[in-house]
Amino acid sequence: MSDSGTWIEIVLLAMLAGFIGLRLVSVLGKRTGSEKAIDAPVRAGTPQIVRGGVARLDPPVRRAVVVPAGTPADLAPALQAIADADAGFDPAKFLTGAQAAYRLILDAFWAGDAAAMSGLVSDEVLDHFRVAIHQRDTALPHRLVSVDAATITAARMVGQMAEVTVRFDATIATGDAPAPGHDVWTFSRHIGAHDPAWLLIATDEHE
């Protein structure tokens, strides 16, 4: 009896061991021989961890302005400051536009047409022109014969506003004979505005 009982226990233990082995295989899976070793080196091409940081950007190239002939040399830094703030600013092109505005504004003022100055002058200057037109109550028989010279005499940045002052030396027909005329006008523009136009913000007449 003791021998048969021992054999029964052995058989039961063997069955139990087999059952446990089958459960382990079903849970853990079988080894196929292609598993990567724990200490295997990383394959080439595997993404590597890179320390974060701010991307380095090259500073914008500074465009040196060309100072128009006749402009005082000490105005170069001020003109450069405007060009640095406003990439579209070019002193020579500005002077060309200023001369065109000078002619249009004078013609409109002499004709008594304040509406024609809209978009060319500031509201304050427009009000002054309207008062002057109203006081004389007639058109002036003046005519701009030529703009003999246009010279930048001052330039500066005031916050986001660029200001450039120009002296105009002109020949004006005021009667029987042409006469010289001299005006100093200041133009201004907000450098962040989409409209590239400069507005006349101050006038001064020089003899």
Contact between 167 and 187 under an 8 Å Cβ cutoff? The reply is no
Of residues 176 and 77, the one with the higher pLDDT is: 77
pLDDT tens, 135-186? 998 899 999 999 999 999 999 999 999 999 999 999 999 877 899 999 999 9
- pLDDT value of position 14: 62
- pLDDT value of position 31: 52
pLDDT tens, 8-37? 666 566 666 665 655 554 544 555 555 555
157 burial type by CB count under 10 A (0-12 exposed, 13-18 middle, 19+ buried): middle
Query: What is the rounded average pLDDT for all residues in the chain?
Result: 82
- pLDDT value of position 137: 84
pLDDT > 70? residue 82: yes
Q: What is the mean pLDDT of residues 173-202?
A: 92
Phi, psi of 35 (to 5 degrees): -65, 140
Contact between 195 and 168 under an 8 Å Cβ cutoff? The reply is no
Q: What is the mean pLDDT of residues 42-50?
A: 49
